[in-house]
């Protein structure tokens, strides 16, 4: 559904839009006071609150002609919810700040909000409040709250030599979906396109990793090599990945052959799958959720593949990467 068509928010006004958005939201059991007041009140049984925030900007992170409002809502929520899981916490609440042109269709906004609400439900959270302002383009900021439930947080700085590196969730499918979109092959690869527009982070794997004794944890947002680089830097270690551990699924492999690229490159450097990657002591028995992909050794903030530095880009950089306006549908 185009964003700028039909009955618009200029007609219903700020408070009419907020009332319509609020009516579309679920009410969470841990929310003591939800949308409608100056601030929300959320129960915190642990006594600590984990907080993360992400912003998506039209024509920088998404194009309205290439994504639906529902998909955009799911993705906007997922990128922040995954950060909570990456601390070993359980998401509880979300705050949504929206910047919208006055001519934006009300139905488009409600579809967006319903997508955010549905993704929050998948993670066990709910929208508890937010803000709406007028601007010249669509900008979404989602702030998410989480509960450690008595566990210690798992940070990027705890990896130690001798640990194993393991991943939970998909790798490379979002990057493949972006390639599908750029090459105009949307009809041939709808599943990969969907993986790009609506990632599926393994939310439960974060608290699971904390319970298993993970020494570090991060979500794969900018690319596996780039994000493991943050772990290596924070922990002061060297990480080496085994290329043989990266086996693409059938669809990923087929797309790589069709586009004459290496699936391994998508899996190592493609972001936005929001898989979780963790380091675990070697003695920890890992469940099927986690696939071992490498090891941690002594060293100075390096990430290698089969003992060698990766040639080329290791992932996304917001200030160095191309703008989405340069990409063709």
Token digits of residue 216: 């570090």
Please state, for a pLDDT cut of 70, what percent of the chain lies above it: 89
Q: Output the pLDDT for position 24.
A: 64
Q: How many CB atoms lie within 10 A of CB 329?
A: 10
CB of 264 closer than 8 Å to CB of 245: no
Q: Is the model's pLDDT at 254 over the cut of 90?
A: yes
Could you give all domains of the chain from N- to C-terminal order, each with its CATH number? 10-147 (3.30.1330.10), 164-319 (3.90.650.10)
Q: Per-residue confidence at 220, pLDDT binned at 50, 70, 90?
A: very high
Q: What is the pLDDT of residues 151-162, one digit of tens each?
A: 999 999 999 999
Give just the sign of the alpha carbon dihedral 54, 58, 62, 66.
Answer: positive
CB atoms within 10 A of CB 187: 8
Instruction: Choose between 14 and 213: higher pLDDT.
Output: 213
User: What's the confidence (pLDDT) of residue 315?
Assistant: 59
Place 237 in a pLDDT band, splitting at 50, 70 and 90.
very high
Q: Under 8 Å CB-to-CB from 313, ≥6 apart: which residues?
A: 223, 269
Q: Confidence band (pLDDT; 50, 70, 90) for 323?
A: very low
**Beta strand residue intervals within the chain, DSSP E:** 31-33, 41-42, 50-57, 90-100, 126-134, 139-147, 164-168, 216-219, 237-241, 276-280, 291-298, 302-305
Q: Is a pLDDT exceeding 60 seen at residue 171?
A: yes
Rg (CA), the chain: 20
Cβ(195)–Cβ(176) below 8 Å: yes
Kindly provide the b/e burial profile for residues 291-316, where b requires at least 16 CB atoms within 10 angstroms of the residue's own CB: bebbbbeeeeeebbbeeeebeeebbb
Give residue-wise pLDDT tens across range 43-79.
888 889 999 999 999 998 999 999 999 999 999 999 9
Per-residue pLDDT reduced to its tens digit, 83-129: 999 999 999 999 999 999 999 999 999 999 999 999 999 999 999 98
CA gap 96, 167 in Å, rounded = 29
Residues 6+ apart with CB under 8 A from 3: 64, 69, 101, 104, 105, 108, 138
Output 38 or 111, whichever has higher pLDDT.
Answer: 111
């Amino acid at each position: 559904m185009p964003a700028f068509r039909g009955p618009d928010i200029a007609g219903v006004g700020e408070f009419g839009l907020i009332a319509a958005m609020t009516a579309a939201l679920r009410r969470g059991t841990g929310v003591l006071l939800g949308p409608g007041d100056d601030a929300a009140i959320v129960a915190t049984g642990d006594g600590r609150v984990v907080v993360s925030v992400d912003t998506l900007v039209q024509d920088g992170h998404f194009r309205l002609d290439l994504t639906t409002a529902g998909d955009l809502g799911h993705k906007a929520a997922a990128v922040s919810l995954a950060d909570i899981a990456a601390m070993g916490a359980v998401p509880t609440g979300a705050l949504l700040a929206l910047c919208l042109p006055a001519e934006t269709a009300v139905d488009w906004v409600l579809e967006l909000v319903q997508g955010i609400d549905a993704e929050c439900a998948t993670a066990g959270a709910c929208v508890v409040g937010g803000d709406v302002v007028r601007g010249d383009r669509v900008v979404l900021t989602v702030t998410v709250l989480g509960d450690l439930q008595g566990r210690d947080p798992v940070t990027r700085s705890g990896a130690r030599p001798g640990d194993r590196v393991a991943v939970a969730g998909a790798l490379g499918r979002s990057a493949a979906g972006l390639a599908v979109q750029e090459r105009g092959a949307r009809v041939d690869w709808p599943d990969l396109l969907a993986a790009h527009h609506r990632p599926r982070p393994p939310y439960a794997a974060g608290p699971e990793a904390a319970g298993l004794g993970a020494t570090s944890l991060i979500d794969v947002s900018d690319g596996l090599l780039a994000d493991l680089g943050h772990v290596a830097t924070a922990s002061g270690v060297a990480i080496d990945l085994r290329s043989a551990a990266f086996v693409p699924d059938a669809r990923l492999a087929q797309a790589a052959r069709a586009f004459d690229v290496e699936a391994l490159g998508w899996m190592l450097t493609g972001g936005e799958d929001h898989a979780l990657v963790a380091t675990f002591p070697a003695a920890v028995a890992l469940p099927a959720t986690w696939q071992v992909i490498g090891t941690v050794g002594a060293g100075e903030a390096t990430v290698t593949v089969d003992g060698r530095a990766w040639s080329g880009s290791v992932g996304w950089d917001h200030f160095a990467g191309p703008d989405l306006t340069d990409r063709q549908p």
